[in-house]
Amino acid sequence: MTVRKNQAALTADEKRRFVAAVLELKRNGRYDEFVRTHNEFIMSDTRTGRRGGPGHRLPLPFLPWHRRFLLDFEQALQSVDSSVALPYWDWSTDRTVRASLWAPDFLGGTGRSSDGRVMDGPFAASTGNWPVNVRVDGRTFLRRSLGTGVRELPTRAEVDSVLSMATYDMAPYNSASDGFRNHLEGWRGVNLHNRVHVWVGGQMATGVSPNDPVFWLHHAYNRQLWAEWQRRHPGAGYVPTGGTPDVVDLNDTMKPWNDVRPADLLTHTAHYTFDV
Amino acid sequence: MPDITRRRAYTTAAAVAATASAAAPTAAPAATAAARHDHTAPDSFDEVYKGRRIQGGPASGGGHHHEHGGGYAVFVDGVQLHVMQNADGTWISVVSHYAPVATPRAAARAAVDELQGAPLLPFPTN
């Protein structure tokens, strides 16, 4: 059974193995397929719910979509090193640039001020091991500007205020919705998930955000928050449950897999547990 | 430009922008056509911001099989910037995906800020 641990609690050996597995997926080309899939999802997502011309797709459900996306990535890591699990980053606790997450033995730190280039750690461009290939502009180096785009990461009190919301999601099931899903995603209210992307900056603030390995640790924590929400609100389930135009209902299949439904991804314990 | 379509007019404007170096703004696509097409569409714009040409205006359907701009297209130095409108009317772009701003012009300016002079790459169209 895979156990997802808090990144702050990883041993030196666990960090080394995680980094090595990520670098191997980069080397063999599989990593960039994940970046490409995410960007295609971003670009085809319609937040208005309006469906226009050919090629338009349903707005994809934030929580189950990313749960499956992370499972795929974690399985890819484990195909390299079966001991590796995705760590999570509790950004409400490890909330400064001095967190061990950003040390040179793990993800490396923030970018330099002139061009945002990350200068240390295993993913710095100077290593030659981390070319940014799937990109939206000409820059091929990993960039960050920790704490620049927005000054503060969410606090635990802000997290708790969102976890207390008893309804999973509400019509119109998009960025204007009230409820847990949209407040966690961050289009409304105190803004949790979106704000973390902006706080990291660089590629993490763009549609090709998985170019930064912290993407996985951020989303692993979002998954944990979903699990925590489920424990707090055992009677509340995924909605909508059927017959909703332009929205992925509980039993609709999701792209790009087409063989998995939100209903198949509501319980994470079939795949992994958390260390808390 | 009454005898050509808005899309062609827009493509022409973009091509001009791609070859001009910080030139004075040329004619923007006809906003009146946009108003007929969709009364909620934002106004067109065309300006030089931090030394780069940013343009926005209505784009006809078809041809954009990979993204959603709500019928609105934005260009930076003639290269299309993928933008999306949120349900609350705010806008995001592919280079500033998690930070909504009020207008497509603000999204274009945010993109120029983010790019720090780097060229935008055309996004995939299939």
Token couple for A164: 């207390």
Task: State the complex-level ipTM.
Answer: 0.91
Q: Domain A2-274 in CATH: superfamily?
A: Di-copper center containing domain from catechol oxidase (1.10.1280.10)
Q: Is the pLDDT of residue B65 over 60?
A: no
What is the distance in angstroms between the Cα of B24 and the nearest Cα belonging to chain A?
A: 25
Q: Is the peptide bond before A245 cis (omega within 30 degrees of 0)?
A: no
Specify the pLDDT at position A43. Answer: 78
- The rounded distance, in Å, linking the Cα atoms of A14 and A55 is 42
For residue A138, the number of C-alpha atoms closer than 13 Å in the C-beta half-sphere is: 9
Closest residue in chain A to residue B62, using alpha carbons only: A53
Chain-centroid distance, C-alpha B71: 10
- The rounded distance, in Å, linking the Cα atoms of B80 and B56 is 9
What is the distance in angstroms between the Cα of A274 and the nearest Cα belonging to chain B?
A: 27
SS3 call for B12: helix
Higher pLDDT, B75 or B7: B75
- The rounded distance, in Å, linking the Cα atoms of B85 and B75 is 16
Tens-digit pLDDT profile for residues A113-146: 999 999 999 999 999 999 999 999 999 999 999 9
Specify the pLDDT at position A185. Answer: 95
Tens-digit pLDDT profile for residues A73-91: 999 999 999 999 999 999 9
State the sign of the Cα–Cα–Cα–Cα dihedral A120, A126, A129, A135. positive
Q: Is the pLDDT of residue B6 over 90?
A: no
Tens-digit pLDDT profile for residues B78-88: 999 999 988 88
Residues in chain B within 8 Å Cβ distance of A197: 97-98
Token couple for A114: 């002139």
Q: Is the pLDDT of residue A54 over 80?
A: no
Cβ atoms of B34 and B69 closer than 8 Å: no
Q: If you count residue pairs, one on A and one on B, with CB atoms under 8 Å apart, how many are there?
A: 106
Tens-digit pLDDT profile for residues A148-200: 999 999 999 999 999 999 999 999 998 899 999 999 999 999 999 999 999 99
Cβ atoms of B79 and B98 closer than 8 Å: no
Contact flag A53-B64 (C-beta cutoff 8 Å): yes
- pTM equals 0.87
Give the neighbor-by-neighbor strand order of the sheet with B83-85.
Answer: B83-85, B91-93, B96-101
Contact flag B82-A197 (C-beta cutoff 8 Å): no
Residues in chain B within 8 Å Cβ distance of A150: 99
Contact flag B87-A176 (C-beta cutoff 8 Å): yes
- The rounded distance, in Å, linking the Cα atoms of A248 and B102 is 28
Amino acid found at B60 = S
Residue A256: CB atoms within 10 A of its CB come to 13
Q: Which of A14-18, B27-31, B52-56 has the lowest mean pLDDT?
A: B27-31
Residue A60 confidence class, pLDDT cut points 50, 70, 90: confident
SS3 call for B109: helix
Residues in chain B within 8 Å Cβ distance of A46: 68, 84
Residue A245 confidence class, pLDDT cut points 50, 70, 90: confident
What is the distance in angstroms between the Cα of A159 and the nearest Cα belonging to chain B?
A: 18
* Selected residue of A50, A60, A66, A137 to mutate for chain B interface (largest B Cβ count, 10 A): A137
- The rounded distance, in Å, linking the Cα atoms of A4 and A7 is 9
Higher pLDDT, A44 or A172: A172
Q: Is the pLDDT of residue B39 over 70?
A: no
Amino acid found at A249 = D
Amino acid found at A245 = P
Specify the pLDDT at position B70. Answer: 60
- The rounded distance, in Å, linking the Cα atoms of B90 and B112 is 18
Token couple for A146: 């920790």
What is the average pLDDT score of chain A?
Answer: 92
The β-bridge relationship of strands B45-49 and B83-85 is unpaired
Closest residue in chain B to residue A113, using alpha carbons only: B116
Q: Which of A109-113, A179-183, A236-240, B30-34 has the lowest mean pLDDT?
A: B30-34
For chain A, what is the HEC assignment?
CEEECEHHHCCHHHHHHHHHHHHHHHHCCHHHHHHHHHHHHHHHCCCCCCCCCCCCCCCCCHHHHHHHHHHHHHHHHHHHCCCCCCCECCCCCCCCCCCHHHCCCCCCCCECCCCCEECCCCCCHHHCCCCCCCCCECCCCCECCCCCCCCCCCCHHHHHHHHCCCCCCCCCCCCCCCCHHHHHHCCCCCCCHHHHHHHHCHHHHCCCHHHCCHHHHHHHHHHHHHHHHHHHCCCCCCCCCCCCCCCCCCCCCCCCCCCCCHHHHCCHHHCEEECC
Of B21, B80, B74, the C-alpha closest to B44 is: B74
Domain B52-60+67-115 coded CATH 1.10.20.140: no
What is the distance in angstroms between the Cα of B33 and the nearest Cα belonging to chain A?
A: 19
Residue A46 confidence class, pLDDT cut points 50, 70, 90: low
